[in-house]
Amino acid sequence: MKRFSLILDACLRITVAGIFWVAVRVFHTVKVRGLENDTGAQPAYFAMQHKRDGDPIVELASVLGHRGWRALARDVRFAMRSDVFYPGFLSRIVHRPRWLSSVLGLIPLKTILMHIGIRPLENIHLRPAEVWIRDGLRIMGDVRVGDALALPFIQQVAAASGEAWQKVQSYPLSRLLAWRYREALQVLCSADMFIEPARRMVKQEVVRKFKEQLAELVRWLERGKSLWGSPEGLLSPDGAILPVSAAMHRLIQAGPAGTCIIPISIIYDFMTTRRSRIFVALTAPIEHAALLSSRELEARLRSAWLWHACFTCTQLASGFIVQTVKAGKRTFTLDEMTKAIVQQAALLSEAGRWVDRQLLSTRTARRRAARFLKYALRERLVRRIGRSTWIAVPCSLSIQVRPGEAGYERYPLAYAWNELQEMLAVTESDIIAASRA
């Protein structure tokens, strides 16, 4: 019976990976390089840079397919944020249409995820408010809202629902799980949304669960198996790499000394009116990661991600527009943009950096730049003032989003500019220095 269950789980995982592969390539063009850097050594931790919620879908089939059917079927598990395992997760991320959201909320996602090798890992600092409340209900019972939650949070929920906060304060805690509060409870919060002693009780419970989950993942590594995870923990809000979470450091340091880390860099060429292009790179493994200090490990991981990231039209064209505005010129032609992109792409390629090959030719770079400008026009980042002449619209390069949100949709130019600055800042000497540390 157990063998049958393992075969069924393996078939399910391979089927899901195949669906991912097809679905991604219908809507995107994906370029993967560096697969030879994964030699198949175990235990290994696939350290995925986190840009979009769909990052694993983009990478998983190609990377694990290179390892062979055993990796796809059973040998790699995935550490995922814990709120995915709570009831109604799909209905929380798909709000409309309401009937579809309600149906999705009935899917036993936790059971499916466990069968395909995904395991939860708590973020003990930031979690969706709904997840905190569900834990609070389990620990304290259905207490009065005002006896568990902080007044600023109650007022925030009341404002979103159009009710008086005094009324919301008098409700039983379970009432906040009703549909009308659903959207307000998806924001990421800390345990400070509670008052004492509820705050202390819930924090203790989350820490307890985190330690149990961490111990399970460590045991998996000790069996000579591998893990896939996101060291940053959260999406990059502004395009810059976030600090590596303490969870990854604890996992690696508690695991076998021979565990290697395989950094996976991902860049989206998303500022286009055609299919977006996604560039994924596997870099050389970081050997014996458990023997490195947290500071050394983070430096090597960060340098690997940035050095191997691909320069695309999104980053280089955004850089051209920002520099044009900073120079006080603002107006430019398509030919001027194309020339600047090709020149910078050539210099970067000569320096050993990965560059989208379409940017190394004037003809193909011009096509990419024209599609970029159509996107920029739609987003009101530029205005057309002639057949081939454009004017950049001054805009702020600051990004203001809530914790856990990414600003690439609302602030595409600033997001791409931040990516470019980080990518340009890392040098080959940084890679050498980090590897020697």
Select the more confidently predicted residue: 187 or 171: 171
The share of the chain scoring above pLDDT 90, in percent, equals 56
Does the structure show a pLDDT above 80 at 429?
no
- Asked if residues 239 and 58 have their Cβ atoms less than 8 Å apart, the reply is no
Select the more confidently predicted residue: 202 or 106: 202
- With cut-offs at 50, 70 and 90, classify the pLDDT of residue 39: confident
Contacts of 234 (CB under 8 A, 6+ apart): 50, 123, 126, 188, 242, 403, 404
* DSSP secondary structure string for all residues of 236-266: -SSSSPPPPPHHHHHHHHHS-TT-EEEEEEE
DSSP-derived 3-state class of residue 31? strand
Mean per-residue pLDDT of the chain: 87
pLDDT tens digits, one per residue of 106-128: 677 777 777 778 888 888 888 88
pLDDT tens digits, one per residue of 321-341: 999 999 888 899 999 999 999
pLDDT of residue 428: 64
The share of the chain scoring above pLDDT 70, in percent, equals 89
**What residues pair up with 116 in beta bridges, in sequence order?**
none
Q: How far is CA 141 from CA 39, 81, 406, in A?
A: 51, 25, 34
**What residues pair up with 269 in beta bridges, in sequence order?**
277
pLDDT of residue 6: 58
What structural domains does the chain harbor? 2-79+109-119+206-307 (no CATH), 313-436 (1.10.10)
Q: What is the CA radius of gyration of the chain?
A: 24
- Asked if residues 122 and 229 have their Cβ atoms less than 8 Å apart, the reply is no
pLDDT tens digits, one per residue of 203-212: 999 999 999 9
Select the more confidently predicted residue: 11 or 295: 295
Comparing 7-21, 67-81, 275-289, the range with the smallest average pLDDT is 7-21
